[in-house]
Chains A and B, each alone.
Chain A
Amino acid sequence: MAEQAGTRAPRIILRPAEGVVSGEVERELSFFERAWDNGAVRKVVIILALAALWEAYGRYTANPLLFPTLSDTLEALMENIRSGVLPARAWASLKVLLTGYAAGIVMAGLLTIAAINTRLGSDFLETMTAMLSPLPAIALLPLALLWFGLGNGSLVFILVHSVLWPVALNTHSGFRAVSNTLRMVGRNYGLRGFAFIRKILIPAAFPSILAGLKIGWAFAWRTLVAAELVFGVSSGQGGLGWFIFENRNLLEIPSVFAGLLTVILIGLVVENLIFRTIERKTVLRWGLQQ
């Protein structure tokens, strides 16, 4: 045994590769494979299928008063755009929406900064969010009308309410989820106070902040259209909700659908162009989100 151990020594034996080396490490995908890998293409296919379904069902029921076909709706849409009514209404809605959205975000920012700097601020934010977040903005409308009158002031008030809580909640939980290591790195650079928030916390929590902004946008949009349906008009310039309500009263059902379609289209554009672009340039590129 001892003798055998003496003669054995570790060796390295080279092994040639088996068979022909294929050389194929990468293969280019075919056009269809690549197209199908593109999320936008898949979504367009879904939308086209839904459009076809709509048209078919509209023709099948043949009742333009209850369910106009897609072509009727598009025709009404074009007509309303050409006459300038729909763009004016959409712009009226968007103006109020952007005002409320911006005000809500600023307030959410202030509240969150107070919340991460003081324990009391954090308690305040948590309590307020728990109480007010489940309260539908539209339920505040009667009160808002009493306080701010029949105008854009009331709309902005309820928009702030619908934006503030989701944005503040998401931003706050995003800040709290920033890893201890990153915080220590920031302090190592000598950053503190507002510089620390701006240069470390906000970018590190950006996925949550962006999610909050998206939810806030959707909430605000819904709230606005609903609120306009309820009272809509201020100094003769109503928004999209009022446009829908008005046309229903006139039994212009294709125009009602055209109004709804506009709401959907604006939602799609904001989601797919604006928010997707921000996402692609930030959290996706940074690997913070897949």
Chain B
Amino acid sequence: MAEAPLLDVNGVTLRYKTPGSVVTATERVSFSVNRSDRFVLLGPSGCGKSTLLKAVGGYLKPSEGAITILGRKVTEPGPDRMMVFQEFDQLLPWKTVLENVMFPLMDARKLSRKEAEDKARHYIEKVHLTRALHSYPHTLSGGMKQRVAIARGMAMEPDILLMDEPFAALDALTRRTCQDELLQLWEETRFTVMFVTHSIGEAIKIGNRILLLSPHPGRVKAEVVDVDAASPTDGSAGRLEKEIHDMLFADEAGEAH
């Protein structure tokens, strides 16, 4: 705990304009992420978790508070914070799998073609897509596309990998495979990841820390630590899931009365 946090989000309020109104997505949210954390933002829709992730990505300026990563203030998007999106169209359709992973390595990291290719091949192998190396994205399944996006993000070896519900649009079986694969990758390289989800089960499976947000506007409700201690075999994960569920929906139940 002596180490300074990798990412520090301090009292961040995010507002965005829609035609005719200003929506407050989050209000004075603070948290910090340490190196090698699997930090999950969890909350019902409308709690601003995706907006928060985009602000860390640099796509959105906080109207209050500040976001700093390794002491640098986040002002714009950059390759030190690679994003993995939910949408399947996040790969460049005019590049093959290999070229998609190589492109940011050459363009942003300024690696030579040879170095970029070696690194890209290494990470594509890690997500088990070597056989699709020269395929174009439109020939891949949804799960494969997301795995390429993860390989692309990890190959850049960013300070933090930002994942915006990357598995939400996948079928249940593929989602489980992808989750397992992500954890396997984390075991191997211990990268820092910030993961947004609305599924409590996924949050418990992926994260070691979970930040619970309440909606309208998004505020921090609680933080769950040492999530890895929960085990699906002895039922502790199930109990934790129920506890989180009750906590998140306690207010709504109260309002309904």
Whether B79 and A188, one on each chain, are in contact in the complex, defined by CB atoms closer than 8 angstroms, is yes
Residues of A within 8 A of B89 (CB): 179, 181-182
Asked whether A184 and B77 contact (CB < 8 A) given A179-B89, A286-B93, A286-B94, the answer is: yes
By the criterion CB–CB under 8 Å, are A285 and B136 in contact?
yes
Residue total for A at the interface (Cβ-Cβ under 8 A): 20
B77 and A190 contact, CB distance less than 8 A: yes
Q: A287 with B90: in contact, given A185-B85, A188-B82 (CB under 8 Å)?
A: no
Max chain A CB contacts within 10 Å: which of B78, B85, B94? Answer: B94
Complex contacts, B57 vs chain A, CB 8 Å: 184, 188
CB pair B92 A187 closer than 8 Å: no
Known contacts A286-B93, A288-B93; A189 and B87 CB within 8 A of each other:
no
Task: Out of A190, A285, A286, name the residue touching B78 (CB < 8 Å).
Answer: A190
Residues of A within 8 A of B76 (CB): 187
Whole-angstrom CA separation of A286 from B139 in the bound complex: 9
In B146-198, the 8 Å CB interface with A consists of none
A80 at the interface (CB under 8 A from B): no
Choice from A189, A206, A286, A287 contacting B103 with Cβ under 8 Å: A189
Q: Given A181-B85, A181-B89, do A189 and B94 touch, yes or no (CB 8 Å)?
A: no
Residues facing A in B94-113 (CB within 8 A) are 94, 103-104, 107-108
B137 within 8 Å of A (CB atoms):
yes
- Give per-residue flags for A179-204: 1 if the beta carbon is below 8 A from chain B beta carbons, else 0: 10110110111110000000110011
B73 contacts partner chain A, Cβ-Cβ < 8 Å:
no
Bound CA span A188–B149, Å: 13
User: 1/0 per residue A230-270: CB within 8 Å of B?
Assistant: 00000000000000000000000000000000000000000
* Distance to closest chain B CB from A29 (angstroms): 21
Known: A190-B108, A199-B107, A287-B136. A185 touches B83 (CB 8 A): yes
On chain B, the number of residues with a Cβ less than 8 Å from chain A's Cβ atoms is: 24
Q: Given A182-B92, A203-B94, A288-B93, are A189 and B104 also a contact pair (CB < 8 Å)?
A: yes
Q: Smallest Cβ distance from A70 to chain B, in angstroms? A: 43
- The reply to whether the CB of B239 lies closer than 8 angstroms to some CB of chain A is no
Q: How far is the CA of A287 from the CA of B57 in the complex (A)?
A: 29
Q: Which residue of B lies closest to A178 (CB)?
A: B89
Question: Are A185 and B92 in contact (CB-based, < 8 A)?
Answer: yes
Query: Chain A residues in contact with chain B, CB under 8 A?
Result: 179, 181-182, 184-185, 187-191, 199-200, 203-204, 206, 282, 285-288
Question: 20 interchain pairs (CB within 8 A)?
Answer: A179-B87, A181-B87, A184-B85, A185-B85, A187-B76, A187-B77, A188-B81, A188-B83, A188-B104, A189-B103, A190-B77, A190-B78, A190-B79, A191-B107, A199-B107, A204-B92, A206-B94, A286-B136, A287-B138, A288-B93
